[in-house]
Chain A
Amino acid sequence: MGKDNQNNADATNSAYIYGAAVSASWADASLSLTDLIFEGVTAALKDAGMSISAADSIVLSAHDLIDGRSLSSMVTAPAAGAYLRDEIRLSEDGLAAMSLAAARVEAGESEVSVVAAWGRASEGDFLATSRVAMDPFTQQPLGMSEMDISAFRLSRWMTKHGVATPARAAALQAQKKRAKTNPNALSAQSVAHPVSFPVHADEGPKWADVVVAVIIGKKPSGVRVTGVGHSTDMTQVGDRDLLAMPALRDAAKSALSDADLDLKDISIFEVDGMTLSDEAIAIEALGLCSAGEGFKSVSQDSRINLSGGSQAGWCYPAMGLVRLSEAYLRMRDKSKEPTGERKFALVTGQGAGGGQTSTAIILEAK
């Protein structure tokens, strides 16, 4: 979805990132959901060296059923700093909220915007709530959930590429190791919801209470949004190519075009996926490796998901914004990333329904 008038390679019309914060916890009884959100947004503002008074708009990503409230943002938006500010809430993955906030900055409608997303898996069981999103006649009677879509995807992969037990084990070990060194990762023990065959129990996400906030604005800073892409897949899982993931592929293609870049120009990838196999197959769909090599890429490609991905803590709909935050925090960390040359990151976010919607954003740092 490149711009019609100009692409984002033009730095004069861009949104810049000033700060970010990611927190992953589990069932902390001392903090309500609004407390968690307030702390998350406060941490991001502190990271940006700003107070909330600098912000003139808020874009949120949250889902009523996961928050357990019929209109979640009534209670939660003020905790994110929305009082007497322009605020819009999406019931979409957090990276879509980031994209909309960036559009508002690019349009000159906002000088500084707070983007926040959350999902408290200890209170809102994502898999349970995902069942009521399924077709009431053909899917709900089967108890189908998001986990089953992941299982179908892996099952399809296995029919083409085999069980790949060693590659999957190596990928899982690599992700667990990376998550251990990620300061934003969940360190506490969380619940283990059942997975669906052929996903292995430990390949499922590490369920967490996730809050993520990013502060963006018009004034140039170190990292800018240089490309944005969105796309949408078929609704019915049976109609989709679960391995090619055309919505994800097209979103990334649009973002690259918007940034006037090729995939080979990107040095950091943060790819969203609920399970290990979702991440591996998304990596293949993006063209980062050959078909069938996704798990190998997870374990061996040092450009991809160094945050630990879904093993670092996961709950819809926060994760696309978490992926962006992880890439941003890495890009500005001089101890990990040498400065002095242009550096690009590609991050992805998957919407509900097994990623029926996809968002891709490219960040640039110098």
Chain B
Amino acid sequence: MKNPVAIVGVGQTKYRRKHSDKNTEELVRDAAMAALMDADIGLDQIGLIIGGVAPDSLAGISNIDMSSIARPGIPYFRVNTGGATGSSALLAGLSWIAAGRAKAVLIVAVERMGHATSAPIVFNSIFDPIYEKDISMSTISMVALRATMLMQNYGFSQEHWAQLAARNSATSMKNETLENPRFFTADQVKDSGVLAWPIHRLEACPTSEGACAVVLAHESIVGDRNAAWIHAARGLSDTYAIGDRFHRPEGSLVNLLTLDLSAKAAYKDAGITDPLGQLDLVEMQAPFASSEVMAYMALGLCKPEDSIAFTERAIENRASIAVQPSGGPQAANPVSATALIRITEAALQIRGKAGERQLDGIRRTISTGQGGATQFSTAVILGADKP
């Protein structure tokens, strides 16, 4: 990057189904203060705060960021790109620093979906009001369409979805940000009831609340701070209509075209020609097992014809890259914050601060963000070395 920027501080609350004991301001304060302390940077050094809040309807209060994240006297705006909100906010912060407008930017994303009386109804209203709302389309039925397509076109089975979910569940047990991590086996996933065939209840991400904060710093103020450097950050937006993505020459609905193109652009920026050989860790915004498999292919970790073999290696933790060491969004998916959490988890691993889930030798990572029926995609590459 022309003007190197690093993540020098991160902060996270516990993620759990519902934070009944804390209001949004308190959650934000916990995450933001932890990030600032981790960065050893005061609020007076922050030139911009960016809030990340996705559907207002999930929180039940419109513009909930204005009382919780915005601070008097500090420039502020809010990003909202659905599930990609957190990573889109990070991209906006990078632009701000690269333009010379600030030396340090604080990004805070918060989710209160546990307060929504019915998240599926809210998610139904993200779809087209004429063609899709009335057939009760939801994020889960949308995922089910793709899972069946993967099963039909590539030979995946329900066993794969169950085993991936179980693998992520086992991995998440070491993640101290999860207040109540769920441990279950593949058999338990298959016995957990069907939400929308072939998606079983335990495969689906849980309703999750919490806040995540990141401090971005221009190279001139990084100094001897423990830094995870931004090597590349790219994003692209796709067409809305899922039907338009079935038979495109560039790829079908399960090929995640915009993630594929975002990753390719990021790899080019970072000088990566062999993702599997040059990256040590991947944190994907994959709230379902089938979402994770689609991302493997889009990120170039495997070819479509090798996707089953790669998936089986990932299930057995034998892939030559660390896959979702946090447990990923199947363990916790606070929608507004999830994409920022993926970046935060990668930064923690690079900085050697991931606690019990810390892995050895993590020097280069990729984190993805996906929003709006995988319409909005981001790819962020972090590294231990200054680019």
Contacts and interface: CB of A to CB of B under 8 A. Distances in A.
Given A5-B100, A71-B126, A103-B99, A92 B78 contact: yes
A116 to B, nearest CB: 13
Interface in A215-254: 228, 230-236, 246-247, 250
B195 interface: no
Interface of A: 1, 3-6, 13, 58, 63-65, 68-71, 73-75, 77-78, 82-92, 96, 100, 102-104, 106-109, 129-130, 132-133, 135-136, 228, 230-236, 246-247, 250, 351-353, 356-357
B359 interface: no
A90 B80 contact: yes
Contacts of A58: 237
Could you tell me the dominant secondary structure of chain A's interface residues?
Answer: mixed
25 contacts: A3-B100, A58-B237, A64-B80, A70-B56, A71-B371, A71-B372, A74-B240, A83-B237, A83-B238, A84-B257, A88-B81, A91-B56, A91-B78, A96-B77, A102-B99, A104-B95, A106-B100, A107-B2, A107-B98, A136-B61, A232-B75, A232-B76, A352-B63, A353-B63, A356-B70
A5 B47 CA distance: 13
Nearest to A100: B92
Q: How large is the interface on B (under 10, 10 to 19, 20 to 34, 35 or more residues)?
A: 35 or more
Interface string B293-330: 00000000000000000000000000000000000000
Contacts of B78: 90-92
Interface of B: 2-3, 47-48, 53-58, 60-63, 66-67, 70-82, 88, 91-92, 95-96, 98-103, 122-123, 125-129, 218, 234-240, 257-258, 261, 371-373, 375-376
Contact of A64 (B55, B127, B235): B55
Closest CB pairs A-B (n = 9): A230-B75, A107-B98, A87-B237, A133-B62, A103-B99, A106-B99, A82-B237, A71-B126, A74-B372
Contact of A233 (B72, B77, B79): B72
A356 B63 CA distance: 11
A89 B66 CA distance: 17
B219 to A, nearest CB: 12
A352 B66 contact: yes
Contact of A74 (B75, B102, B373): B373
B77 A100 contact: yes
B54 A71 contact: yes
B239 to A, nearest CB: 5
A232 B74 contact: yes
A86 B80 contact: no
Given A64-B80, A70-B55, A357-B76, A108 B66 contact: no
Contacts of B48: 1, 230
Given A86-B236, A91-B80, A64 B66 contact: no
Which residue, of B57, B218, B234, has the highest number of chain A Cβ atoms within 10 A? B57
Nearest to A254: B75
A85 B237 contact: yes
B126 A86 contact: no
A103 to B, nearest CB: 4
Contact of A4 (B72, B102, B371, B376): B102
A219 to B, nearest CB: 17
